[in-house]
Amino acid sequence: MATSFENLPEELQLATSAHVKYIQSLDTRKDEYDYWLTEHLRLNGLYWGLTALHLLGHPEALPRAETIDFVLSCQHPNGGFGAAPGHDAHMLSTVSAVQILAMINAFDELETRGTGKAKVGKFIADLQNRQTGTFAGDEWGEEDTRFLYGAFNALSLLGLLHLVDVDKAVDHIVACANFDGGYGVSPGAESHSGQILTCVAALTIAGRQDLIDTDRLGRWLSERQVASGGLNGRPEKKEDVCYSWWVLGSLEMIGKAHWIDRDKLVAFILRSQDPENGGISDRPGDMVDVWHTCFGLAGLSLLEYPGLQPVDPVYCMPKTTVQRVLGQSWKKTPLSSSAGSI
Amino acid sequence: MATNGSGTSHGIARTSRARTEEQRHQELEKIRKYRELEDQVRSQAAQKEFGPELFQLTSKLLRLNPEYYTVWNIRRRSLISGLLSRRSDGSSPLTESPISSQTATTQASSAVSSSSSSDATPPSHESQTTGKSGTIAEDSRNVDGEHEHASNKQQDSDATKAAAEKQDLDVLKSELAFTIPLLLESPKCYWIWSYRLWVLEQAIQRLQVPVARRIWQEELGLATKMLTKDRRNFHAWGYRRHVVATLESASLGGESMVEAEFDYTTHKINQDLSNFSAWHNRSKLIPRLLDERGADDMAREALLNQELGLVREGLNVGPDDQSLWYYHQWLMLNLVDHVGKPTIVPHFTLENRVTYFMREIREIKDLLEDYKDVQLIYESLVDYTLSLCQLEERQPNADEKGELVRWLDKLRKLDPMRSGRWTDLERDIGLKKLRQKQTQ
Ligand SMILES: [Zn+2]
């Protein structure tokens, strides 16, 4: 199927070098007010940008030494990371820090120059609610399945998943399941594609995919594709490039990525890129940002767009990274790849 | 300006990034002011100067940038270490267990006789006027010492206690007022919602139950308002469920609100049949509603019929509405997948269940007379025919197989985007062979 994309008209070719330049430019925009308003996302942004560069095959486009310096400058003595120096430690930025260090193979630096893996693990593990199994984002207690997934993601990369009560967390995810096969933020909450990816990926990390109603979930997820080819996050909502990741990644993990129209989705993502200045936006014609650039490219990678590095749907990092850190990465089950054989 | 290269943005049109020298200059000035304010906040926080001045600065900064989660945390610390009169120390539910306010205040004043507990941290109560900045708390001062020389300690202690609660009430109310305009402007900002919930938790920990209850009750009004502005905002729906659960809980001396909430979903659905968030909430409320009504078998069946009727009315005019079909699926799932789950009609016999399935399939087929090319109709027919077989623990019979083949053909034509799904489905129900036979 990879050959079919080469027949796309020129405006639907991936603007690789523009995207690389765009990501490289992000940290030079200090004369823009928005650069300062978004400092609370700096470490996440670095993860999004770096993932995009790795998938584009330009991992060296951000200098490794400076990246490590910046990540470690965000760490607190308790092991947690803030979004930027001077920002409080939070689960979301801590997970980004771990993912960045994994991608650039720098866990050693965490031992020698940071607090060490063990403290990072403890910071994350302490955020588990031992009664319900779910996780908070920080000491102030907001709970959400996003944080649970983040904890599983980072702890498994660090080899420290045993620090938390995995079974309790799994029970909590099951309690978040809805009749449509999807999952919400917390028990009782409506199914939402972002939350579904976090729950499906956490169950996959825990080795408990057997608890997922894959047929019903696959159906619901496939119905997220709308006429434009893009995917929405919930019924009767607008399509958005970032759901190319949340929906398609979930479909991939349950072996049903072939339940949507790949070519149409590829075209939708490519129509949303800014071919001149680089970057991808939520929809064609909108302002680009690094979040949609990352998840648009990750979607294209899952869609096997030619030239992109394969992405791991559980971790949203290059498969080569996950392979190196864990000794294995996510594989399609024989069942899912047999689909085209009829 | 619309550029948001470093963060995330939704629905903002792509425009030229070119700025005139004048615009660039203005932006640099804006940045300078912002960073100056930020520096002040961060250096005072680093020195643990959580006084009223820092508190006021956080208001300023959060109005400029409500996503700045660290500043929300600094604001919490400011409240705990001064503006809220009594330390609860229960502010961080993960690391410390909530301590009742009684114990907490005693800690602060061990030198004073046991019944008189809060002399050490008398609250300010002369500051209830709203300041220029719009919040009361900003103008509050922890006027340590003003009451120290009161002549009658016992009397003063009671008065102080009441005053302390009054101040807490004022501070918390002022915090709730502070976040409203920010929420209206950024209704999808996680940090504002979670800060607001933290403030509300403080109300439970620090105020008398009836007082705290009134505050939480008003929150329901906010949830309603937010859902009027955006009927699908999942933050607001989640917030509403949380507020309702808390109002129902023993900590606020509450009782069930399931009837009222059920009525609310009816109201939202009547306004807009496509509001799946409302249908979803309804599906969560119905099992509880029936239990709490002590509904007998007849009442249960009546409710099932009422709900099926409600969806059918919608489908008759809008058969391409996914929300309606998802809710219909939930109702039908109650008939198949009912073991060990809360369900509408646990008493139904297999015969009852089969009858309902056949009736619904018939009704859906009727829709085909008016709507020949609506994919969701065919999808449901396939789905429910297979469910019927599952229920009766049998394979599709010859007639059903013929229908399934026809419907799947139609689905492939109407919905080629999901052809992979139709192919899998065909394989799973063993229609491939049948099709080959037919075409021979
Ligand atoms: Zn998006």
pLDDT tens string B48-85: 999 999 999 999 999 999 999 999 999 999 999 888 87
Which of B33, B390, B417, B431 would best serve as a mutation to test chain A binding (most A beta carbons within 10 A)? Answer: B417
pLDDT digits (tens, 9 = 90+) for B221-268: 999 999 999 999 989 999 999 999 999 999 999 999 999 999 999 999
In a domain, A333, yes or no: no
Of B6, B277, B326, the CB nearest to A290: B6
- Give the model's pLDDT for residue B103: 32
Which residues 315-334 of A have a C-beta within 8 angstroms of B? Answer: none
In a domain, A114, yes or no: yes
- Give the model's pLDDT for residue B151: 52
Length, in residues, of chain B: 440
Does the distance separating the beta carbons of B333 and A179 come in below 8 Å? Answer: yes
What token pair was written down for A15? 């603007």
Q: What range defines the domain where residue A41 resides?
A: 2-326
pLDDT digits (tens, 9 = 90+) for B164-175: 889 999 999 999
- The predicted model gives B399-420 an average pLDDT of 96
- Give the model's pLDDT for residue B287: 95
Q: Tens place of pLDDT for every residue, chain A, 342 residues?
A: 444 666 667 767 999 999 999 999 998 999 999 999 999 999 999 999 999 999 999 999 999 999 999 999 999 999 999 999 999 999 999 999 999 999 999 999 999 999 999 999 999 999 999 999 999 999 998 999 999 999 999 999 999 999 999 999 999 999 999 999 999 999 999 999 999 999 999 999 999 999 999 999 999 999 999 999 999 999 989 999 999 999 999 999 999 999 999 999 999 999 999 999 999 999 999 999 999 999 999 999 999 999 999 999 999 999 999 999 999 888 875 444 333 332
Chain-centroid distance of CA B39 in Å reads 34
> What are the C-alpha distances in Å from A188 to residues A4, A191, A192, A320, B373?
43, 9, 12, 37, 35
DSSP code of B123? P
Residue B114 has pLDDT above 50, yes or no: no
Residue B117 has pLDDT above 70, yes or no: no
- The predicted model gives B367-396 an average pLDDT of 95
Which residues 36-55 of A have a C-beta within 8 angstroms of B? Answer: 36-42, 45
Residue type, B329: Q
Range list of β-strands (E), B3-133: none
Which of A32, A91, A251, A342 would best serve as a mutation to test chain B binding (most B beta carbons within 10 A)? Answer: A32
pLDDT digits (tens, 9 = 90+) for B359-378: 999 999 999 999 999 999 99
- Here the ipTM equals 0.93
Q: What CATH number should be reported for the domain holding residue A96?
A: 1.50.10.20
Residue B312 has pLDDT above 50, yes or no: yes
Which residues 263-302 of A have a C-beta within 8 angstroms of B? Answer: 264, 274, 277, 279, 281-283, 285-292
Does the distance separating the beta carbons of A90 and B69 come in below 8 Å? Answer: yes
Residue B157 near residue B180 (C-beta atoms within 8 A): no
- The alpha-carbon gap from B154 to the nearest alpha carbon of chain A, in Å, equals 36
Q: Count CA atoms closer than 13 A to B406's CA, side-chain side.
A: 12
Q: Is B420 on the interface with A (CB under 8 A)?
A: yes
Residue A47 near residue A101 (C-beta atoms within 8 A): no
Residue B341 near residue B333 (C-beta atoms within 8 A): no
Which residues 111-130 of A have a C-beta within 8 angstroms of B? Answer: 126-127, 129
- Give the model's pLDDT for residue B140: 41
The larger pLDDT score, comparing residue B134 to residue A226, is at A226
**What Rg value do the Cα atoms of chain B yield, rounded?**
30
Q: Which residues surround ligand 1, an ion (CB under 5 A)?
A: A 240, 242, 282
Burial-class residue A222 by CB neighbours within 10 Å (0-12, 13-18, 19+): buried
CB contacts, 8 Å: B14 with chain A: 274, 281, 285-288
Q: Which of B332, B344, B312 is nearest to B383 (CA)?
A: B332
In a domain, A334, yes or no: no
Q: What share of chain B is helix, strand, coil (3-state, %, to 5)?
A: 70, 0, 30
Does the distance separating the beta carbons of B232 and A237 come in below 8 Å? Answer: yes
In a domain, A110, yes or no: yes
Does the distance separating the beta carbons of B73 and A140 come in below 8 Å? Answer: yes
* Bridge partners of residue A231, in order along the sequence: A225
- Give the model's pLDDT for residue A341: 31
In a domain, A336, yes or no: no
Structural domain count, chain A: 1
Give CA–CA dist A251/A212, Å, rounded: 12
Does the distance separating the beta carbons of A190 and B274 come in below 8 Å? Answer: no
In a domain, A49, yes or no: yes
Q: Which phi and psi angles does A133 have, rounded to 5°?
A: 95, -15
Distance from residue B411's CA to the centre of ligand 1 (Å): 29
> What are the C-alpha distances in Å from A57 to residues A48, A92, A324?
14, 26, 17
User: In angstroms, how far is the first alpha carbon of chain A from the final one?
Assistant: 16
**What Rg value do the Cα atoms of chain A yield, rounded?**
19
The pTM of this model reads 0.88
In a domain, A339, yes or no: no
- Give the model's pLDDT for residue A4: 60
Q: Is B283 on the interface with A (CB under 8 A)?
A: yes
In a domain, A140, yes or no: yes
